């Protein structure tokens, strides 16, 4: 799973929409999730942590 995630940090907080929890956010740190369906979506740091903590199978 970690290979499917990329963290990005910007100098200032930027608005974005987390495609996993479906919330509008503003943060310096975001993650790009390269999903199995071939799409890459932006997710928040909280969802990033949940994906890393999820059991891998």
pLDDT at 36: 87
pLDDT at 2: 55
54 against 10, higher pLDDT: 10
Nearest to 4 by CA among 30, 44, 31: 31
Residue 6 dihedral angles phi and psi, to the nearest 5°: -130, 125
pLDDT at 49: 94
| Distance between CA atoms of residues 8 and 19, nearest Å | 16
3-51 confidence digits (pLDDT tens): 699 999 999 999 999 999 999 999 999 999 998 889 999 999 999 999 9
Range of the domain at 36: 2-53
The pTM assigned to this predicted structure is: 0.84
Number of structural domains in the chain: 1
3-class SS of residue 16: strand
């Amino acid at each position: 799973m970690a290979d499917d995630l990329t963290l990005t940090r910007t100098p200032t907080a930027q608005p974005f929409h987390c495609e996993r929890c479906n919330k509008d956010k503003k943060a310096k740190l975001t993650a790009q999730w390269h999903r199995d369906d071939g799409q890459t979506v932006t997710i928040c740091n909280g969802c990033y942590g949940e994906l890393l903590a999820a059991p891998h199978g």
